Structure 1
């Protein structure tokens, strides 16, 4: 039986895992229920696992509380290995959900947690990697080395993989290569996309709390209006890309959160704006990360306000070109001729980049929808579940064949 045939044979289990995870989403680094579910399933397969992470630095915790996440005391990533010896390839799946609601009745396994939902497909990633774990465990005697499974927390925070790297996910045994899959609802079903070199944008986030002086809207001269300052700030920052950046470069700057106040006739004491700049060129990134803090400082002080700003950086994901060339035949074997396609780099950000900074890595996108489907991070996002066994088979086929080709 081929890897794909074996994966299709366990489709019901893969979907059951996905549905169970979808009903009980958790956000951020601390995913106790999700991690426990993953470890329980691995144990049922005869695979030992352990948590990767630990207490989170208080300053980092406070920064994410400021960003709107719950207070997260610890990271609960899960790591397991199958096989033994050298070399070692890492397969990664992220597990965290989003702080948003899902459209009720969209699926018959809708999120049961108010304000949280798997609208970026990380439940499918976890289910596919659990499926791959089953396939690989059943073939453990055939493995010419070690497969390390990385079930990651905090991808939506932009640094979950960094936290796991700092806690040793790439060691014991040392990882020689890494592979990850992300489903894409706007990508044609049955296609696999990849980009040699820079694969995703770097993202620099600035979380800004503006402090003004509240009062009645009839006496603005007695107040310092933080909402007006936030508005001026957003407008000014958006001028950067058209006046200080080469027009042949790509910059996407948006405010995903902006607001404050309680009533139309009250100027508030404070306002908040969170701005993210996505870039592909390191020189552009460096210029913006120098100029944005300057503009924040000058704009707020020009209007007599004060502020607190927390910056945060997530690097681009880089696909090793040699590894892409090596793995493409193993991907084609599962997807079929013409289905593995080189695509333009994506404007989204993916913290798998922290893995790619340390070892050769390949990140691919699996089409589970189409151009007219609801996009990722949308309350109506759905996936074609028929593709999930293909994702599990991709993981397993890559691992088996890469190990075979890279004996030490």
Structure 2
């Protein structure tokens, strides 16, 4: 039997250079390896059309994201209403293939009951209402505070309604699946780990010469984490720290300049970021939000040496045992001082490989997804 599927993406999933599209891109690769013909639909708002997607997709269509805010008046979150292109329904209606909606962002047609009679699955990237509520506490902008507040309220109502309309909800972490079960009473939910670029742990033995914090520094949460590390940990801990990522703010760069043992690597290439992670002695992973899964966590655990994270970063990911857990500045300082002197060992690499195979085996996870889509959906 030929297996065809429509996949609707909230963004163009190439290049896989930020957490929101990482799972999307590698899912295409491993579904393709399973003989699935993918008809990709993606919203383009700055990343451009990408011919590389045709390596794994039979067809690729692009849609423009609207900047119209009128959907808010109808109680529809902006991340959803801005992705309401009518051409999408026209293309999905050309056949009766199953539909995988990537992110709550992509569920407008499901909300409007336009996909009745279809096999429809929703891939959660976060518990979005909780994520937006947490973002509220990490921005200084009054406009963003208002936006995050309104969006969070609308998303909680919206997610509750969407959850009962989908044939299957697929969460990226066990924690997100539990939230939907306990808060929304949703039983048609399963956990499937994110797809990754790694089939082998590439951690290096020995010692590195610095600590590393990395992420998209234009995201307020990441900037706050970097500033917290500088002010609360490394201001008195004279161990080298590199902060690396996209578009650091003037505020962050000014703070870094106050310390000779702290530096910033601005907008590194993917190859440069990989090198920074592999060469670091310690990858630092504090987080102020608890939904979804952070790409930086997986990147550090499978490619770096020692990792220090807080519970918010690792909750429900299966990666707890791959990190030293620290909850406050005192814990982070103590863990850094200990691990900075400890070489990373072959045994440590073997343990990381075991974690990778146990939780993030791309081929096994692709086979499980294929079974859910074309086989029997059950609680097994």
Q: TM-score, normalised by structure 2?
A: 0.29
Q: TM-score, normalised by structure 1?
A: 0.27
Greater relative CO (CA pairs within 8 A, separation 6+): 1
* Structure with more strand by fraction: 1
Which of structures 1 and 2 has the bigger CA Rg?
Answer: 1
